[in-house]
Structure 1
């Protein structure tokens, strides 16, 4: 059974269809990269999966359970997912440790001592052990994004959603964030990520999905999408990226 199944998903804004009949399956331990031009619907798709956006038509199933059912509790569904955005969204008045332990303690009812133990293990694992007592404004952009990813991991999610997590970073800081994603893949984490880092996408993805105008136009292996795309629009996008020297 697929971990995530999106079937016939439509999302409209002010009469404009942002997502048009999206079908997507994600298997356990699979890494799916969503690519496409800005405005193609990639971020909206992630927000729909996390139920941050209402779905106008279609269904989303997580572990076989229809989470778009009106009777589903969005808060309960989100306990099983971690989502990280372009902006770090760390609480500025809280230390890194408190940011990371907030959801495990308040939402998952983990005791403070155990939540802090687990958080410190993650901070050590991802090179931020010495920043537990620091505040977000005392961290570099790369450190803040790593802390945001660790915060999402602290709830032990079934699925991680990563939305352009390197786009707000200076090029020198991108590498350290990409490294944490590599480690998550090595550990078997199921992920859907949107990215403009095409070289990294080619390296990390099991499946690449090209979105164009709200349609999932093509999906395949990185090799197939980047060297022999079937659709003309996919070829045009890939060629544009190549011409820009970003791959």
Structure 2
């Protein structure tokens, strides 16, 4: 069974369709990357999956359950998802440890001692054990984003959603965050990510989806999308990205 399935998903804002009949399937342990120009609908798609936006037509299924059903337990669905945005969104008045353990304790009912033990394990795994008692403003941007990813991982999500998690970082810090995503793939985490890092996308993805004007115009393995795209619009986008030096 697929982890996630989108069937004919439409989303409108003020009479403008930003997602237009999206069909997508994400299998267990698969990494699906969404690429396309700004405004193509990538972030909106992730927000619809996390139920931060209500779809106007179509359906989304998580492990076979329709989560776009109006009767669904939204909080219950979000417990099974981890999402990380461009902005780190860490609580500035909390230490790294408290940021990471908040959701496991308050939402999932994990005892404090166990939540902290698991948090220390994640911090050690990703090279941040010495930062457990630091506050967000004492961390670099790359460290803050790594903590944001660890915070999402602490709830042991079924699916991780990563929305341009490197776009707010200085170039020298991007590799820190890409390294953590690569390790998540190696550990078998199922992920959907939006990115402008085309070289990384080509390397890490099982499936690449090109969105244009809210339409999922083309999808396939990275070798196909990056070397033999079927659509002229895909070729045009990749050419512009290549010229901008993002490959």
Q: TM-score range by the shorter chain?
A: over 0.9
Number of equivalences: 247
Corresponding position of 2:114: 114
Gaps of 5+ in 1: none
1:205 aligned partner: 205
With structure 1 as the length reference, what TM-score do the two structures score? 0.99
Deviations 1:83-142 (A, max 9, x none): 000000000000000000000000000000000000000000001100000000000000
Matches within 5 A, 1:91-110: 91-110=91-110
Q: What's the CA shift for 1:242?
A: 1.4
For residues 47-101 of structure 1, the C-alpha deviation after alignment (integer angstroms, 9 at most, x for no partner) is 0000000111110000000000111011100000000000000000000000000
Q: Deviations over 1:157-200 (max 9, x none)?
A: 00000000000000000001000000000000000000000000
- For residues 24-35 of structure 1, the aligned pairs below 5 Å read 24-35=24-35
Task: Determine the C-alpha separation between the residues in 1 that align with 2:87 and 2:70.
Answer: 30
Deviations 1:2-33 (A, max 9, x none): 11000000000000000000000000000000
Cross-structure match for 1:243: 243
Name the Cα RMSD after superposition.
0.4
4+ aligned runs moved over 2 Å, structure 1: none
Which residue is 1:166 aligned to?
Answer: 166
* SS of match in other structure, 1:72: coil
**Equivalent residue, structure 2, for 1:192:** 192
Aligned twin of 1:149 = 149
* 1:25 match: secondary structure: strand
Aligned to 1:175: 175
- Please report the TM-score for the alignment, with normalisation by the length of structure 2: 0.99
Structure-2 separation of matches of 1:170 and 1:68:
37
For residues 21-170 of structure 1, the aligned pairs below 5 Å read 21-170=21-170
Q: Give SS of 1:183's match.
A: helix
Instruction: Report the CA distance between 1:244 and its aligned residue.
Output: 1.9
The alpha carbon displacement at 1:245 in A equals 2.3
Structure 2 gaps of 5+ residues are none
